[in-house]
Amino acid sequence: MALIVQKFGGSSLASVEHLRRVAKIIAGTKNNGHRVVVVVSAMGGETDRLVNLADEVSAVQQSRELDALLSTGEQVSAALLAMTLQSMEVPARSYLGLQLPLLTDAQHTRARIIELSTGELEKTLEQNIIPVVAGFQGVSSNGDITTLGRGGSDTSAVALAAALKADRCEIHSDVDGVYTADPALCPQARHLRRISYGEMLEMADVGAKILQIRSVELARKFRVPLLIKSSFGGERCTWIVEEEERDMESAVISGIILSHNEAKLSVIRVPDRPGIAYQILSPLAEADINVDMIIQNASIDGFTDFTFTVPKADLSKAKTLVERVIPEIDARELSTDDDIVKVSAVGLGIKNCPGMAARMFQALADEGINIQMISTSDIRLSCVIEAKYGELAVRVLHDTFDLEINNNLNAMK
Amino acid sequence: MALIVQKFGGSSLASVEHLRRVAKIIAGTKNNGHRVVVVVSAMGGETDRLVNLADEVSAVQQSRELDALLSTGEQVSAALLAMTLQSMEVPARSYLGLQLPLLTDAQHTRARIIELSTGELEKTLEQNIIPVVAGFQGVSSNGDITTLGRGGSDTSAVALAAALKADRCEIHSDVDGVYTADPALCPQARHLRRISYGEMLEMADVGAKILQIRSVELARKFRVPLLIKSSFGGERCTWIVEEEERDMESAVISGIILSHNEAKLSVIRVPDRPGIAYQILSPLAEADINVDMIIQNASIDGFTDFTFTVPKADLSKAKTLVERVIPEIDARELSTDDDIVKVSAVGLGIKNCPGMAARMFQALADEGINIQMISTSDIRLSCVIEAKYGELAVRVLHDTFDLEINNNLNAMK
């Protein structure tokens, strides 16, 4: 008998019919002899509806009130799912974040979990009642409702699994796992049965929207096995596990990911002296803008070009901040470009195969795709290219790294 | 500088436009030098939407889950109204029932207030921030969300006014006060500027939908002056005050009220022996069905007819329960009738004018309206009549008691 945390996303809870389907999945797990703790997102579309209401009443929102507003979405779906289970004679009880409590810091709209009490849940499980926990939400030490950021229900679920020492955490949504590429872009994309936390982190970071990145970090930290499943049927799923639990013969590259979320800023002809990077980037850090890739060209005549990327949504704010610095550092001008994408190859094998980067650059060059920026990690190779080549690049790289063929011999244990 | 509790009903909060109008009323009160505590209902239509969702997922709902679900309506409007005020540079902060806390017993969907802590609100008022409290909801001692029943936000508002020793509690909705009759039924209806708690209680009890009856009881108990106002403009309003604060020359009858909420059950030919009433009515009491008027005919040949009314919504349940008793008490049969209405005249003067009842019965008889049942209190006369005569009866009685003419000389103090 395992203890399983099952998290259901908004697309799995979009209507009363969806709620019934989800309730059947939960009841089935229980009937198989397992103990279940359920975590829910808001019903599909509900968070957007609430955000739109907030936008209508006020251009600038206090984040404390926004959290009080948005957290109702998960409260509604938790209560309704508990009712649905009860109507099927499955005892269930809904919980808010503040009823556990799931204690967070006071950073509204992106709070971090400080402590999670499981006493109430354990009592409920002992009574053979299924707890249905509203995800995404917590409570600060002064009693205010907080939220964990978009996709935060994933993090709620993993945190609960870790605190309860659950055997696994299942993430149910409208996708049945992780693929070697987005099947919508690349019909040859192959389903992956296992992937490591590290690869999933890199994938989430560069744009795969399957999981909130913090939930994967948390799962790795507390060694919670994650399972990606679809609530719409089908047997396929992807396990996210520790590196050593992947199979010996795994492929070098696990997947190709395309991200549209980048914008590029280039400070042109900066006098090349120490402290330039700090002067340009520190106002962005203060404004909480995340700088991703950074390139500084070799100096010519004592001048250089300084280029970096930020999230597309932050471009105009970043532009304003950097333009203020231009005269201070005697640069010639600032140019910006948001007509770019980032294509990445992620795989544990990259660190042991020095030729991988060269193969990637060659494949893109063969198609006449110009690489504007490059960044790499142990297990990731990323290139910024012109937006119109994004889908072509995914298909080319998928082909180059032979991802279509199941070239690793791993099978489910 | 007064301390004023302002409560806004769902019809006053039906859209973003409505929220802006309400925010302006609040800001205006503050700008006049008053301190304000706001209490809100759910946005118009929202509670019905949530009830429908609950009905869809489950025929029989656990009331704990229903409360968790329904309380989100007020949470949403409190957060949105606080945002709206902030957008107008009026500092505001939303509060849930459980954040005050407003402690109740554990009777879900109709909880009663046990204790209301005002420390948090007083701290907020001292900082010149307007608290916007989600009405209708509280928290039980074991941390579950409870609700106070439909219209419970009125009770939340009066309870807050009492606990804060506020100078008055304003109830803002889409009506601008209490009338001598429903203007939709009786175009001659006259607006009342003052009415006593006792009269308002009788009116609420017999069907006037302006206020939850518990809120009036609470206001009388703690001597909180109530003011009924419209949030849609206009200067008119009705004060609900203590009897002695009404004017000397007040009219004998303050209003005529029509209630469609009755159904009649008659147990025919019961052997007239002690304990009959108990045997018939105790199963209803156990099932929490409210019995209103009771009539037992004089005994003929040792048999009697026993007739009583229940809320129309409870008729079929009541019927089932009483039918079970029929053989036990050797009665002949049960007949039921929901094609009835109750018409009532309410006024402080009734207790001092013994002729009032006779005038009422005469006026109905003159129109050929048969009176099926009668009940009276110190300040109320009620008759059950056939439904089709309801509106006619209201107009006739309004005329009989000269309510059209401002026959009392009272003016606003």
B63 CB within 8 Å of a chain A CB = no
Kindly report the pTM of this predicted structure. 0.87
Q: What angle do CA A114, A116, A122 make, to 5 degrees?
A: 175
Q: Give the DSSP letter string of B58-118.
A: -SS--HHHHHHHHHHHHHHHHHHHHHHHHHTT--EEEE-GGGTTEEE-S-TTS--EEEE--
Query: pLDDT at position A390, please?
Result: 96
Distance CA A279, CA A313 (A): 22
What is the DSSP-derived secondary structure letter of residue B43? P
How far does A45 lie from chain B, in Å, by closest CA? Answer: 15
Whole-number Cα distances in Å, A89 to A124, A312, A347, A391: 16, 48, 46, 49
Length of chain B: 413
Longest dimension (CA), chain B: 78
Proportion of chain A above pLDDT 70, given as a percent: 97
Cβ(B287)–Cβ(B380) under 8 Å? no
Q: Point out the residue among A50, A57, A94 whose CB comes nearest to the CB of B65.
A: A94
Which residues, in sequence order, are CB contacts of A376 under 8 Å at separation 6+? A350, A357, A382
CA distance B218 to B17: 32
CB half-sphere exposure, B16, CA atoms < 13 A: 13
Question: Residue B320 CB: number of other CB atoms within 10 A?
Answer: 11
Burial (Cβ within 10 Å: 0-12, 13-18, ≥19) of residue A265: buried
Q: Cα–Cα distance between A100 and A102 in angstroms, integer?
A: 6
Residue B271 preceded by cis peptide, ω within 30: no
B261 — contact with chain A (CB < 8 Å)? no
CB B138 within 8 A of CB B147: yes
Q: What are the 10-residue block averages of pLDDT along chain B, 413 residues in total?
A: 96 96 97 97 95 92 94 98 97 97 96 96 97 98 95 96 97 92 91 92 82 92 95 92 72 90 94 88 92 84 92 94 94 95 92 87 94 90 95 95 65 31
Strand arrangement, sheet containing A255-259:
A255-259, A340-346, A380-386, A373-377
pLDDT of A406 reads 55
Is the Cβ of A98 closer than 8 Å to some Cβ of chain B?
Answer: yes
For residue B409, the model assigns a pLDDT of: 38
pLDDT at residue B298, as a whole number? 78
- Of B69, B78, B80, nearest to A53 by CB-CB distance is B80
The shortest C-alpha distance from B15 to chain A (Å) reads 9
Three-class SS state of B370: coil
Three-state SS for B270?
strand
How large is the greatest C-alpha to C-alpha distance in chain A, in angstroms? Answer: 78
Min CA distance, A160 vs chain B (Å)? 20
How many C-beta atoms surround the C-beta of residue A411 within 10 A?
A: 10
B298 touches chain A (CB under 8 A): no
- Residue-wise pLDDT tens for chain A (413 aa)? 899 999 999 999 999 999 999 999 999 999 999 999 999 999 999 999 999 999 999 888 889 999 999 999 999 999 999 999 999 999 999 999 999 999 999 999 999 999 999 999 999 999 999 999 999 999 999 999 999 998 899 999 999 999 999 999 999 999 999 999 999 899 999 999 999 999 999 988 777 778 888 999 999 999 999 999 999 988 899 999 998 776 655 678 999 999 999 999 999 999 988 888 899 999 999 998 999 888 888 778 889 999 999 999 999 999 999 999 999 999 999 999 999 999 999 998 888 888 889 999 999 999 999 999 998 888 999 999 999 999 999 999 999 999 987 544 333 32
CB contact under 8 A, B87 and A16: no
Enumerate the domain spans of chain B. Answer: 3-174
> Which pLDDT score, from 0 to 100, does residue B246 have?
67
How far apart are alpha carbons B8 and B19 in whole angstroms?
10
Nearest-CA distance from A87 to chain B in Å? 5
Provide the terminal-to-terminal Cα distance of chain B, rounded to the nearest Å.
Answer: 19
- Chain B residues whose CB is inside 8 A of the A109 CB are none
Q: What is the pLDDT of residue B272?
A: 86
pLDDT at A301: 87
Q: Is the dihedral of CA B47, B49, B51, B54 positive or negative?
A: negative
Residues of A in contact with B98 (CB under 8 A): 98
Using CA atoms, how far residue B171 sits from B151, B153, B174, B177, B296, in Å, is 11, 10, 10, 9, 40
SS (H, E, C) B206-235: CCCCCCCHHHHHHHHHCCCCEEEEECCCCC
Q: From the CB of residue A11, how many other CB atoms can be counted at a distance below 10 Å? A: 18
Taking alpha carbons only, the member of A142, A117, A166, A128 closest to residue B95 is A142
Chain A residue numbers with beta carbons less than 8 Å from the beta carbon of B16 are: 53, 56-57
> How far is the C-alpha of A131 from the C-alpha of A39, rounded, in Å?
8
pLDDT, residue A246, reads 67
In angstroms, the CA B344 to CA A226 distance is 66
Question: A58, B84: Cβ pair inside 8 Å?
Answer: yes
Distance of CA B343 to the CA centre of its chain: 16
The CATH code for residues B3-174 is 3.40.1160.10
Of A66, A80, A99, nearest to B69 by CB-CB distance is A80
Return the structure tokens found at A238: 């992807």
* Interface test mutation site (partner A, options B18, B69, B90, B124, max chain A beta carbons within 10 A): B69
